[in-house]
Structure 1
Amino acid sequence: MSIKEQFNINRDISFYKKKFWRYYFYLMGGIFATFLFASWGLLGSMPSFEELENPNSNLATEIISSDGVVIGKFYNENRTAIKYKDLPKNLVNALIATEDERFYEHSGIDGRRTLGAVIKVGTDGGASTLTQQLAKQLFHGEGSHFILFRMIQKVKEWIIAVRLERQYTKDEIIAMYFNVYDFNNYAIGIRSAAKTYFGKEPKELTTDESAILVGMFKNSALYNPVRNPQGVKNRRNVVLAQMAKANIISQNEKERLQKLPIKLKFELQTHKSGIATYFREYLREFMKQWVKDNKKPDGSDYDIYRDGLKIYTTIDSRMQTYAEEAVQMHLKNLQEEFNTEQSKNENAPFIKLTEAETEKLMMKARKNSERWRILKENGKSDSEILASFNKKTKMSVFTWDGERDTVMTPNDSIRYYKSFLQTGMMAMEPQSGHVKAWVGGINYKHFQYDHVAQGARQVGSTFKPFVYATAIEQLNMSPCDSIIDSPFTIPKGRHNVTETWTPSNSNGEYRGMVTLKKALALSINTVSAKLIDKVGPDAVIELTKKLGVNSDIPSQPSIALGAVEITVQDMVAAYSTFANQGVYVKPQVIDRIEDKNGVLLYKPVTEQHDVLNKDIAYAVIKLLEGVTESGSGARLRTEGGGHGYNRVTGYPYAFRNPIAGKTGTTQNQSDGWFVGMVPNLAAGVWVGNEDRSAHFKGITYGQGATAALPIWAIFMKKCYGDETLEVSREPFERPANLQIKVDCYQAVRDTTSTDENENVPVEEEQNTDEFEI
């Protein structure tokens, strides 16, 4: 080779070296500039230091029972944060073994994974570390699928991952990773996922359950346990194999777990599912007002769907469950009796309505329906909308055995739903006002009207104790005083009576001289009328208002028989006053509210005031005990069986402890009531149809003792069966130096007496003091 040729070769080499290094520096400079510009936010928004410190994870507000159970949530995304210490070890190990086995060795970016990402030109391919995946989910989502934008996204991922590693510990990063992932079916975050798919807290997950949830990180839509059980099983087994490969579990353990079937306890965590649905909706309305009255330190509003508040309620999840089970057990059977009776009614479920009256009621229901609202918004005329109610439509309807798919006209569906017996039930502690159970209806998804706080219904004879309490206070009477049960008339003009009023007893009988205790036990109408005539309706109304009843009550003597509409909530609170020695305590549903960091935001102050002195309150309790000893509530003492025994009326309750209570039945059996108390728990139950024109024809099933009392009894049997609840079996506290005579000698059993037409035995009490009106 000549010198000239060698020179040319050297010159070319030098040229290409310079060119290589120039491009190399251009490349490095470009990469450096890309990272620099990305960190400055010039290539798209980047999280600030404050955002890294407090990433916006859209936390659900939790509703927590008094016994520490999460009974519901308010959320846009069903996500509840969980700390690393609450994650089971097998869950963490499964994640690391499957998604990032070198997690504890890198600082957010894994060189090997990075090289793989470069080779695969912008596709994930399992390349991202857990920290990078967290960065993607927290701050910039999936982004574009174009290669250039995907590369920019990867750069941003790296930068955020490094910042996360500097800002948080490894354990905190794992906890955040579990908290932000969307597991489908409204389950965002591991806590929601564990609850939705297995009905558990994360710390209770078994190894195979942990493997199922970790397997979903690959693609939760594809590996959905509900829709793709075989694919989920295959993916779970891959996770278990990775755990065995990492020596987290043994080969034998892997093989054993891989053979297990997929067992779910699936329940969607929605606003309309779970327990205490009616209560949670009531609470939502309360919180809407609360956020208006309570601001954040910076003056902005709290968001109950995003701020992760914790609402600690007074509801006891055990009592709530028992209350809902009691409703299910009794009303399912009672509904069958109602349906059997209605099968012979051509205008079912309405009774004694004319064609015009029926159509008026149906039209009101149509116009209140969602169908009417939607069609009206779409510009349909009234005639077009009415025509649609006669067209058969596919729909899913409520039954006591679960939802059923069927085809019927919307008009038929209106009648179908109006045929269902409804209920309202509430239980509370008389001393604290803490509401322990709240059942507003039979199924919130299909019947959203709350019969505890919204629905005021006629209370019938459950109003009579207010009349008796007024008489004891103003006339210095006692439960043992006697009064004549005889025909009685209040003339026109007295007590605002517009027409002469002559109340009659339910069975048309008059018993002569009876004690007040017997009169209330038998719910004798003439005695209640005589008492209110003596004290005046206004005095009774005044006392009732002091007992917390918010309803408008007409100043008429007829209120003595219960021609008053009152909510279950107000009735239970009023009766509780007697059990609390005459002190009214307003029902309270919230213990406290905290923010997501546990800072106290709200602690309600108990509202209470004196209504009656202890002696009078105790005297009313003794009157109400008479109802369950020898009146319409005496079936609480039965062993079961005997004449007339059936699944609706003959439960073997066999209570032996003191119980104060009162049944109530309104005209035509449209409303059945029972309010019952033991010293530390009061509960009230109403049963009836949505429309008062739909009801049982007779009193056998329509009376309060049959319709409502069994729900109370089943609930209390379940509460007594749970010793952890410590529901009282003891007598009500007797005031020291009691000045009112309450111990009435019981001597003669009157087996022919009835209360509200109920065939139950009653005790004849010997008259000790006479008080004639």
Structure 2
Amino acid sequence: MLKKFKLLLKELKAVPRKTYLKGVTALFFAGLALFGFFYLSIYWGMWGKLPSEQELRDLKQNEATEVFSAEGELIGKYYIFDRQPVLYKELPQHLIDALIATEDVRFYEHSGIDSRSLLRVFVKTIMMGDESSGGGSTITLQLAKNLFGRQDYGFMSIVVNKLQESIIAQRLEDIYSKEEIIGLYFNTVPFSDNTYGIESASRKFFNTTTSNLSLHEAATLVGTLKASHYYNPRLFPERSKERRDIVLNQMQKYGYLPEDIYKEVTERPLTLEYQYFNNNEGIAPYFRSQLKKDLVKILDTLTNEDGEPYNVYRDGLQIYTTLDYKMQVLAEKAMTEHMTQLQKQFEGAYGKRAPWEKQQLITEALKNTPNYISLKEKGWKEEKIMDSLTSKRDMELFEWGAKKMVRASVADSVKHYMKFLNMGMVNLEPSTGAVKSWVGGINHKYFKYDHVAQSRRQIGSTFKPVVYTAAVEAGIDPCTYYSVREITYEGGWTPSNSGPEEDPFVNYPMKTALSKSINTIAVKVLYDVGINKVLSQANKMGFPPDLPPYPSIALGTAEMSAVDLAGAYAGFANKGHSVKPYYITEIKDKYGNTLATFKPKVSSKPAFSRTTNQVMVEMMKATVNEGTAARLRYKYRLPNDIAGKTGTTQDNKDGWFVGITPNLISVTWAGADDHRIGFPSTSIGQGANSALPAFALLMQKMNADPQFAEITQAKFPTPSEDVQQMLDCEPLERDNFLERLFSGADDPESAEDKKEDKEKGLLNVIKGIFKKKK
């Protein structure tokens, strides 16, 4: 460029001076006129409409909606661009100094355009090709670019965009003060990892607010502005530290930082406390996913000042929830610890007999994948579709402990994911229904289906307390004895017991039958109470009204979500009052104005009496102390006051555990996403093994933290003397064989029918005694 310029000067010297001056003058004015017209064409919007003064006064930017825990901890965001506004007075002075020293040292001297910098850019960068000379952008010019972006105008792009920005910058300087411009800049500037605005960047990279940014944190973030990806402190920490130190050097150079502090801070290592705020990462991803669905429906009923519905992605709302941040962290850890071990146990027990190794099952699962459905809709033939789905490529697969990059096909991935067990666990406050923790699955990135709210599975023996509650309410004494032996009911249905075979000549009282979760007795109690009364009792407790009206309901053939089951069980710890689980307490707009509040929904009438309440709690405490949930005591050594109920469904498809403490209801489900795959044995699949340990591990962690003393140290009320007497009976009795032989005591017919046909009773008894156990 310099050589060409020198040659041009030699040629011009050969031209007569008078002619030369006329030519240069004409050329100058022609160029000036051309530039003036060009500038006016941009000013008049011929290259794209420029924002008016009024539009600049009414600046609106998409702002992220923030979600907070009950304690005010930020747990997530919903956004198109991760941006959150902050006031100028919240900006620490060293943050402002770092920006000015690095980006625009004459910021307070110019009116949007720094002529000296522009001259330097023109001469050195454009004329001499020296790209190291720096840019001429002021903070105001950068703000204009941040607010309105840049368009593609071909080879004229850089010139047109720069002139547009200069016009907008001058308008901004006319409208806003220097402090307001600084505030706007920090609220709109892009940082690393798709983060917009200093508040979002502060929370994401250092888990703090802007007002609490330290000097080295502020310098780190300002340093990324030169090239947000290149100096990303998460991806390139060493590079980012070097840039941070340059920022600190600039601050020292221009008198914003004493030399001793400069030296001290530059010696510090770069430390981050990175926070993920996307759908798959971070705390409570399943909860946030469900919350977003609910918010969309709620916001459709609320309108902003323009009469438009609020938008969860754009309007910078503040959502306050009931979630306990610390408990959520512990619940996720407990789930991970348990499911990692259960998965190994599950796969080891199946060995080479694993159902996910069966080609028919894999093929059926493939036909439900989006890939198969999409190709089918395009008209592909079956053979071609299968060829496509079995072709291998590089992909990332989930494994406990680490991600795995492999060469695999869609069919391989379907087979891989089919083997994984999943879990749903929800904890709520029984007095209000406030959700305290929500674990919807093992990993939201790979398993989107939520097993707290979306999944409805058979609830197994967790329904038995409803049967026994109805029985006590109907006046049946909890010490009423029932035989364990199997009998066949109308229609040929013969419920049997799981686990070790029971002695057919043993009778158990209801309290023992519940703690041992004996199927045969639960059905007999249901027949004694009457199925309609049991269903009515279930409805009063908050179970759904569409329960199947069949005797098998006693064994939990009804399907429910974990969160609904928790709400129904809350009555046992809430004086008989069921609750509607809720998790949003308040919605505010970006200015802090309350848009909506949400209160607990507790049933107005108790579903059962105080006496029944105490009886049932004592019976379910026996489940924990000596029954199917006893491993809470002997294995996990939990000293807490706990009642509970385990549940296991047919063919070991689902494992459940409901834990009841005075101030917390916990429901846990475990099983495979694919309904066709169950646990290989009851010993592994029973709720006491598949679901209970997650609750046990959570309680252990909460016991170790004084913060949860209100939950972990709470005690159930001492039962009344009447209730204690009602439960004062032997845990079993031996059958009187002769009496049993000549009566049809276990036949589900009425007592009058039994008296009229003792011979039939004798045949039923003999058939029951010698029946082959399943």
TM-score, structure 2 as length reference: 0.83
List per-residue Cα deviations over 1:517-537 (Å, max 9, x = no partner).
Answer: 222111122321121102222
Name the CA shift for 1:30/1:689 in 2 (closer, same or farther; >3 Å). closer
- Deviation of 1:513 after TM superposition, in Å, equals 4.4
* Superposed displacement of residue 186, structure 1: 2.6
Deviations 1:357-408 (A, max 9, x none): x61x433321222322443465533221112333333221111112111123
What is the percentage of aligned positions where both structures have the same residue?
Answer: 37
Contact 2:372 2:389 in 1 (8 A): no
Instruction: Give the Å deviation of 1:700.
Output: 2.9
Q: Which moved more, 1:244-253 or 1:581-590?
A: 244-253
Report what 2:146 is aligned to.
137
In structure 1, distance between residues paired with 2:726 and 2:528: 23
Q: Could you say which residue in structure 2 is the equivalent of 1:762? A: none
Partner residue, 1:296? 304
**Is contact 1:348–1:415 with CA below 8 Å preserved after alignment?**
no
Which runs of 5 or more structure 2 residues have no equivalent in the other structure? 1-16, 733-753, 755-774
Higher alpha-carbon deviation: 718-727 or 697-706:
718-727
Corresponding residue of 1:571: 565
Q: Is 1:419 matched with 2:419?
A: yes
SS in 1 for 2:482: strand
Q: Secondary structure at the match of 2:399?
A: coil
Distance 1:537 1:503, change over 3 A: farther
Structure 1: distance between partners of 2:468 and 2:165: 75
SS of 1:101's equivalent in the other structure is coil
Q: 1:744 to 1:173 in 2, by over 3 A?
A: farther
SS of 1:223's partner is coil
Q: Distance in 1 between matches of 2:181 and 2:378?
A: 49
- The whole-number CA distance in structure 2 between the counterparts of 1:27 and 1:170 is 32
The alpha-carbon deviation at position 454 of structure 1 amounts to: 1.3
Q: Which residue of 2 aligns with 1:309?
A: 317
Contact 2:434 / 2:600 at 8 angstroms: preserved in 1? Answer: no
- Select the residue among 170, 180, 186 that pairs with 1:178: 186
Query: Structure 1 stretch 36-45 or stretch 194-203: which is displaced more?
Result: 36-45
Post-superposition Cα deviations, 1:122-160, rounded to whole Å, max 9, x if no partner, equal 99943222122112211243665756x655544443443
Q: What code does the residue aligned with 1:523 have?
A: S
Change (3 A) 1:502 1:676: closer
- 73-82 vs 577-586, which moves further: 73-82
In the superposition, relative to structure 1, how do residues 416 and 517 fare at CA in structure 2: closer, same or farther (>3 Å)? Answer: same
Contact 2:648 2:687 in 1 (8 A): yes
Partner of 2:285: 277
Q: Matched residues in 2 for 1:448 and 1:743: separation? A: 50
Question: Aligned to 1:684, which of 659, 667, 686?
Answer: 667
Contact 1:136 1:142 in 2 (8 A): no
Match of 2:715 among 707, 710, 731: 731
CA shift in 2, pair 1:349/1:97, >3 Å: same
Q: Deviations over 1:564-619 (max 9, x none)?
A: 22211111111112211111211102112122222222223433322333333333
Q: Measure, in 2, the Cα distance between the counterparts of 1:636 and 1:208.
A: 49
**Larger displacement relative to structure 2 (362-371 or 412-421):** 362-371
Q: 1:458-497, aligned counterparts within 5 Å?
A: 458-473=458-473, 475-479=474-478, 481-487=479-485, 489=487, 491-492=489-490
Distance 1:81 1:430 in 2: 37
CA change 1:145–1:592 in 2 (3 A) is same
Query: What residue number does 1:755 align with?
Result: none
Cα offsets for 1:470-502 (capped at 9, x unmatched): 1111x22454x332234253641xxxxx33445
CA contact (8 A) 1:627 1:634 kept: yes
Mapped to 2, the partners of 1:90 and 1:377 lie a distance apart of 60
Counterpart of 2:646, as a letter, is T
Q: Which moved more, 1:109-118 or 1:589-598?
A: 109-118
1:3 corresponds in structure 2 to none
Whole-angstrom CA distance in 1 between matches of 2:448 and 2:418? 13
1:502 and 1:334, CA in 2 relative to 1: closer, same or farther beyond 3 A? closer
Q: Is 1:624 the counterpart of 2:620 in the alignment?
A: yes
Match of 1:637 in 2: 633
Contact kept? 1:432, 1:585, Cα under 8 Å: yes
**Pairwise CA distance, 1:112:** 3.2
AA aligned to 1:482 is T
Counterpart residue number, 1:644: none
Offset at 1:715?
A: 1.2
The DSSP-based 3-state class of the residue aligned with 2:300 is helix
CA distance in 2, matches of 1:731, 1:160: 67
Matched, 1:128 2:99: no
Deviates more, 1:310-319 or 1:112-121: 112-121
Deviates more, 1:725-734 or 1:318-327: 725-734
Q: 1:600 aligns with which of 594, 599, 620?
A: 594
Instruction: Name the amino acid aligned to 1:522.
Output: K
1:286-337, Cα deviation, whole Å (9 max, x unpaired):
2232233333343323222222222212222211111110000111111112
Q: Pick from 76, 80, 85: which aligns with 2:80? A: 76
Corresponding position of 2:390: 390
Alignment of 1:359-378 (within 5 A): 359=360, 361-376=361-376
**Amino acid in the other structure paired with 2:543:** V
Cα gap change, 1:162/1:409 in structure 2, threshold over 3 Å: closer, same or farther? closer
Quick check: which one's helix share is greater?
A: 2
- Contact 1:519–1:527 (Cα < 8 Å) also in 2: yes
Task: Report the Cα offset of residue 743 of structure 1.
Answer: 5.8
- CA displacement 1:325-352 (0-9 Å, x = unmatched): 000011111111222223332x4447xx
Bigger mean CA offset, 130-139 vs 231-240: 231-240
Change (3 A) 1:619 1:453: same
CA distance in 1, matches of 2:43, 2:498: 86
Q: Does 1:714 align with 2:697?
A: yes
Aligned equivalents of 1:166 and 1:715: distance in 2? 59
- Note the residue ranges of structure 1 that are not aligned, 5 or more in a row: 1-11, 493-497, 639-649, 751-772
Shift of 1:196: 3.7
Partner of 1:756: none
Tell me, yes or no, if structure 1 residue 440 matches structure 2 residue 440.
Answer: yes
Tell me, yes or no, if the aligned pair for 1:78 and 1:188 is still in contact at 8 Å.
yes
Cα deviation for residue 212 of structure 1 reads 2.4
After the TM superposition, which of the residue ranges 150-159 and 19-28 deviates more from structure 2? 19-28
User: Which of 54, 60, 71 is equivalent to 2:64?
Assistant: 60
Is the Cα contact below 8 Å between 1:78 and 1:192 reproduced in 2? yes
Query: Aligned partners of 2:426, 2:202: CA distance in 1, in Å?
Result: 31
Q: Report the residue type matching 2:82 in the other structure.
A: N
Cα RMSD of the aligned pairs, angstroms, is 3.4
Map 1:522-671 to 2 at 5 A. 522-550=516-544, 552-609=546-603, 610=605, 611-638=607-634, 650=635, 653-671=636-654
In the superposition, relative to structure 1, how do residues 393 and 139 fare at CA in structure 2: closer, same or farther (>3 Å)?
A: closer
1:47-87: per-residue Cα shift (whole Å, max 9, x none)?
24453234232112222221212222222212222233444
Which of these residues, 723, 732, 738, is aligned with residue 741 of structure 1? 723
Instruction: Tell me which amino acid in the other structure corresponds to 2:571.
Output: T
Checking the alignment, whether the CA contact within 8 Å between 1:470 and 1:535 is kept in structure 2 is yes
Measured after TM superposition, the shift of residue 741 of structure 1 is 1.5
Give the SS at the match of 1:128. Answer: coil
Q: Which amino acid aligns with 2:633?
A: R
- TM-score normalised to the size of structure 1? 0.83
Structure 1 equivalent of residue 48 of structure 2: 44
Q: Secondary structure at the match of 2:423?
A: strand
Superposed CA deviations along residues 720-763 of structure 1, whole A, max 9, x for unmatched, are: 3333345422223469xx6962466779899xxxxxxxxxxxxx
* Secondary structure, aligned partner of 1:312: strand
**Does the 8 Å contact 1:482/1:513 carry over to 2?**
no
Question: 1:618-647 CA deviation, whole Å, 9 max, x = no partner?
Answer: 332222222112212222223xxxxxxxxx
Q: Offset at 1:539?
A: 2.1
What is the CA-CA distance between 1:239 and the residue it aligns to?
A: 1.0
CA shift for structure 1 position 437:
0.9
- Contact residue 672 and residue 707 of structure 1 kept, 8 A: yes
Once the two structures are superposed, the pairs formed by residues 228-267 of structure 1 within 5 Å of their partners are 228-266=236-274
Structure 1: which amino acid aligns with 2:396?
Answer: S
Q: Which moved more, 1:73-82 or 1:511-520?
A: 511-520
Q: May I ask how many residue pairs the two structures share in their alignment?
A: 706
SS in 2 for 1:371: helix
